[in-house]
Amino acid sequence: MRVELTEVVRIEEHQELSLSELAELSRLSEADLRRLQELGVIAPVDPGAAERTFRAECLVVARTACRLQQDFELDVQGVALALALLDRIRVLEAELQQLRATSLQTG
Amino acid sequence: MKYKDYYSALGVERNASEADIKTAYRKLARKYHPDVSKEAGAEEKFKEISEAYKTLKDPEKRKAYDQLGSHRPGEEFRPPPDWGVHFGGGGFSFEDLDLSDLFESLATGRRGGARRGRPTSVAGQDYEVTAHITLEDAFHGSMLDLSLTVPEYDEQGLLQRVPRTFKVRIPKGATEGQRMRVPGRGGKGVNGGRDGDLYLNIALHPHALFRPSGHDLYLELPLAPWEAALGATVQVPTLAGPVALKVPAGTRAGQKLRLTGRGLPTPKEGAGDLFAVAQIVVPTVLSEREQKLFKELADASTFNPRGHFEQETSHAR
């Protein structure tokens, strides 16, 4: 069987994404993305720009938002709250991992 | 095609109301959703629950499911001959099909694929898989063989499960929990819809020596008391091979000695750092001479490692 080689793309390596690109890749509607932006979940690179672009990391957030919205049947406000809590967990887990990595093993 | 019992996946009776089905799903989703659950096997469990709910929450799909009859989970079965016609589905190759594909294709058919008029394009599904790699792979970059079985329409328009195997190049410097996108490697789009993407979630195998934190690495560095007190040059392992590390005199346990740029490579250029965390270890068995020398040191030294105990307790008084 022929095995094709595929290059992977680190998400942060993408160029900035327009609102429509972010919608296409994350499968969220542009309206929901705008609501998430109003709620401060995702932020455009330059809020004053005529055409807003988003850092590629927003794709991970938007994809999670899409999953939460579909799987828990949440409204955008609920998604924003869940994302804020998940982000706190992510930060705490990173701190925990850092503490575990730096602490001495006893015994 | 293998039968799946969607009712038992949700823990409800076959005659359960829509409300009961929704409640059961929500309860299980909160427990097993991969974004919120850390339970082992949660991802697989959630897939089952979600697949069951997607079918049972939709009255038309539930009716279609019920008409497949009741079988034992995992039992091979074929839907009744006129089954697909009733529910607007196209042709199926039942042997290679998963039950979830069957219902997914009904949804696609309803969205316009099988109806008259201009067919609607539907984007292919995105897939997400966890890629387990070693720290060495993360450091050097690696090739990963991926095998997925995905639903696809063949040339005759029959939906079936096909194995897809491909290699992906994981660039060097991957970190725990990092997401990577493999463009176009998800499900095939229908009627000109774009192909879905495959997302990789990087998980690093635990390493015997190095503990990663982002791009930085931590290594426990055991030192003999005299090495810590007098200073020493010791050989330490790094992912690129051993290097000499100068341990300064008076190194304390827990002190981090930084080896700049010896961590995991960062995406553009440069690398994280490697921190050697000093640990003072003592020999458990002492020779007579060692014992004598330690005794001599104990007698000669004025060092009081617990001086602060006295200070703190005198404050409290």
Q: Which residues of A touch B180 (CB under 8 A)?
A: 8-11
Residue B115: pLDDT over 60: no
Q: Which residues of B touch A64 (CB under 8 A)?
A: 35
CB pairs under 8 A between A and B: 93
CB B245 within 8 A of CB B257: yes
Residue B159: pLDDT over 80: no
ipTM confidence score: 0.81
Most confident of B33-37, B122-126, B275-279: B275-279
For A83, the closest chain B residue by CA position comes to B35
Weakly modelled stretches of chain A, pLDDT under 50: 106-107
Reply yes or no on domain B122-206 having CATH 2.60.260.20. yes
Domains and CATH numbers, chain A: 11-102 (1.10.1660.10)
Give the pLDDT mean for B76-91. Answer: 66
Predicted confidence (pLDDT) per residue in B7-56, tens digit? 999 999 999 999 999 999 999 999 999 888 888 889 889 999 999 999 99
pTM: 0.76
pLDDT classification of B112: cutoffs 50, 70, 90 = very low
Residue B111: pLDDT over 60: no
Q: Which of the pair, A26 or B147, is modelled with greater confidence?
A: A26
Contacts of B101 (CB under 8 A, 6+ apart): B151, B159, B160, B161
The rounded mean pLDDT for chain B is 87
CATH number of this structure's domain B210-302, picked from the four choices 1.10.1040.20, 2.60.260.20, 1.10.3720.10, 3.30.43.10: 2.60.260.20
Give how far B287 is from chain A: nearest CA, Å: 23
Q: Which of the pair, B109 or B250, is modelled with greater confidence?
A: B250
Question: Max alpha carbon distance in chain A (Å)?
Answer: 60
pLDDT for position B114: 45
Residue B94 carries which DSSP code?
G
DSSP 3-state of B214 = coil
Residue located via tokens 């810590």: B228
Give how far A48 is from chain B: nearest CA, Å: 28
Q: Which residues of B touch A7 (CB under 8 A)?
A: 168-169
Q: Where are the alpha helices (DSSP H) in B185-282?
A: 225-230
For A73, the closest chain B residue by CA position comes to B26
pLDDT for position A11: 74
Please indicate whether the domains covering B1-115 and B122-206 agree at the CATH topology level. no
Closest to B159 in 3D by CA, of B78, B93, B64, B79: B93
Asked if B202 is an interface residue toward chain A (Cβ–Cβ < 8 A), one would say: no
Asked if A4 is an interface residue toward chain B (Cβ–Cβ < 8 A), one would say: yes
Asked if B176 is an interface residue toward chain A (Cβ–Cβ < 8 A), one would say: yes
Residue B116: pLDDT over 60: no
pLDDT for position A10: 76
Give the pLDDT mean for B280-305. Answer: 95
Residue B66 carries which DSSP code?
H
Return the domain boundaries, chain B: 1-115, 122-206, 210-302
Q: Are strands A4-7 and B159-170 parallel, antiparallel or unpaired?
A: parallel
CATH topology assigned to domain B1-115: Helix Hairpins (1.10.287)
